[in-house]
């Protein structure tokens, strides 16, 4: 996740400074980082839901 965000940031910097003119690659890197973040948030939510379900169980 962090590596994808760094790659996205680097690609955006390169585009802004004129080191690259390939907007498609920059957008793809940004979307990959966004999707990775969304997946991580969903995994976190599922873990929290599972924890809450376990805490509701009576022993």
Question: What does the pLDDT look like over 2-39, one tens digit per residue?
Answer: 888 999 999 999 999 999 999 999 999 999 999 999 99
CA distances from 51 to 21, 23, 37, 43 (A): 47, 42, 21, 12
Query: What confidence score (pLDDT) does residue 1 get?
Result: 73
Q: How confident is the model at residue 41 (pLDDT cuts 50, 70, 90)?
A: very high
């Amino acid at each position: 996740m962090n590596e994808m965000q760094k790659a996205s940031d680097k690609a955006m910097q390169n585009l802004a400074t004129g080191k690259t003119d390939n907007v498609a690659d920059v957008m793809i890197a940004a979307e990959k980082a966004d999707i990775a973040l969304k997946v991580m948030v969903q995994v976190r939510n599922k873990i929290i839901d599972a924890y809450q379900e376990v805490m509701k169980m009576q022993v």
